């Protein structure tokens, strides 16, 4: 996965569009794309070529890890401990506790409290946390 991210065909594409490209990885829908980038701490507009080796490895692991978690949990991407915490806070409906950023625009990030932002990638909705997911030029990667 890491070498594929850095291959000439994909290295200079923005991550959000890249993860939605069925030629890169088949089957990642918009919710998985948004959640993967959140857990990898990468901004949707960052490109693999701008990422550190550490960030590429983290993203490669997260693409596989979040997809597998979602498969096991029937679409819940939040870690089990967070889901338990949110349920204890009264968020019992699956739609209220399953995601960290997807369809949560304007709500507080569970990690840092920043309001989740919504944007568009090729006409499809994208969601990210401006506090947790930084651009490369801010040297957080």
- Binding residues for Zn ion, per CB under 5 A? 109, 111-112, 114, 129, 131-132
Would you say 51 or 129 has its CB closer to Zn ion? 129
Q: How far apart are CB 101 and Zn ion at their closest, in Å?
A: 8
Question: Closest CB to Zn ion among 126 and 132?
Answer: 132
- Is the Cβ of residue 32 or residue 116 nearer to Zn ion in the bound state? 116
100 contact partners, CB below 8 Å, separation of at least 6:
35, 38, 39, 77, 78, 82, 109, 110, 111, 129
Query: Do 48 and 6 meet the contact criterion of CB atoms below 8 Å apart?
Result: yes
CB of 124 to Zn ion, least distance (A): 22
The rounded distance, in Å, linking the Cα atoms of 62 and 55 is 10
Rounded to a whole number of angstroms, the minimum distance from the CB of residue 46 to Zn ion is 15
Nearest residue to Zn ion on Cβ basis = 109
């Amino acid at each position: 996965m890491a070498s594929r991210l850095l291959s000439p065909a994909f290295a200079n594409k923005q991550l959000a569009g890249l993860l939605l490209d069925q030629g890169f990885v088949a089957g990642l829908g918009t919710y998985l794309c948004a959640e993967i980038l959140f857990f990898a701490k990468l901004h949707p507009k960052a490109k693999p070529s701008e990422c550190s080796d550490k960030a590429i490895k983290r993203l490669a692991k997260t693409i596989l890890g979040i997809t597998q978690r979602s498969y096991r949990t029937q679409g819940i991407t939040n870690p089990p401990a967070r889901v338990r915490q949110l349920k204890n806070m009264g968020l019992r409906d699956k739609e209220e506790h399953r995601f960290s950023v997807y369809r949560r625009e304007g709500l507080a990030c569970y990690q840092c409290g920043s309001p989740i932002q919504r944007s568009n990638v090729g006409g499809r909705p994208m969601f990210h946390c401006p506090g947790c997911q930084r651009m490369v030029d801010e040297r957080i990667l």
